[in-house]
């Protein structure tokens, strides 16, 4: 089955995501005519077997993923993994940087928040996770201060103190 669908639509009939449908017929596996609705969160089909708490946790994880992904990537050219693409492009600009160092990790986290704030601002929309642009920029400032501390401790050879 090829995949021409990229939305978060789910079928009213079978409750499967649009991606699970045959793109050649645009039809639901249970019904030939396409009958879907836009959803803000993924609706799982009835799950059977296994521990019920496992499925509750997976549903909560999927809901959190949808919200975070909306904040980080919705409407961007790069798609649902766009935040990783954009931050990695910035990181490539600094080939001599030790991204595995504590300082490098702090800067990577800072870039993630920077990207999230810019994405929200560029898309002219509110955060669905409750972390608006101001909160993202505050995170950037906190990571910048932590970066100063890490740089100072690295220069002194104090490790992580």
- The C-alpha atoms of residue 52 and residue 50 are separated, in whole angstroms, by 6
Query: Rounded to an integer, what distance in angstroms lies between the CA atom of residue 74 and that of residue 116?
Result: 11
Structural domain contains residue 137: yes
pLDDT at 98 over 50: yes
Kindly state whether residues 81 and 16 are assigned to the same domain: no
Work out how many domains the chain is built from and give that number.
2
Are residues 41 and 58 located together in one domain of the fold? no
Domain enclosing residue 24, as ranges? 1-46
The contacts of residue 29 (CB under 8 Å, 6+ apart) are 14, 16, 20, 21, 22
* pLDDT tens digit sequence for 52-73: 888 888 888 988 888 888 888 8
Mean pLDDT of 39-63: 71
Q: Are residues 22 and 65 located together in one domain of the fold?
A: no
If asked whether residues 103 and 24 sit together in one domain, one would say no
Does the pLDDT value for residue 161 go beyond 80? no
Q: Within this chain, do residues 108 and 149 fall inside the same structural domain, yes or no?
A: yes
Same domain for 28 and 62? no
| pTM for this prediction | 0.62
Are 36 and 53 contained in the same domain? no
pLDDT band for position 113 (cuts 50, 70, 90)? very high
Q: Is residue 161 part of a domain?
A: no
User: What average pLDDT does this structure show over 120-147?
Assistant: 92
């Amino acid at each position: 089955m090829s995949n021409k669908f990229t939305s978060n639509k789910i079928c009213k009939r079978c409750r499967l995501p649009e991606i699970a449908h045959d793109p050649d017929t645009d039809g639901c596996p249970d019904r030939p005519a396409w009958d879907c609705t836009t959803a803000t969160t993924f609706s799982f089909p009835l799950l059977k077997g296994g521990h019920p708490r496992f499925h509750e946790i997976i549903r909560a994880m999927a809901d959190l993923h949808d919200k975070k992904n909306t904040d980080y990537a919705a409407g961007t050219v790069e798609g649902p993994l766009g935040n990783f693409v954009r931050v990695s492009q910035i990181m490539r600009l600094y080939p001599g940087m030790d991204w595995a160092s504590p300082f490098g990790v702090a800067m990577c986290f800072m870039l993630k928040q920077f990207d999230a704030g810019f994405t929200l601002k560029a898309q002219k929309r509110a955060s669905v996770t409750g972390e608006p642009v101001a909160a993202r920029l505050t995170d950037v400032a906190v990571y910048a201060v932590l970066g100063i501390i890490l740089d100072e401790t690295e220069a002194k050879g104090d490790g992580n103190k």
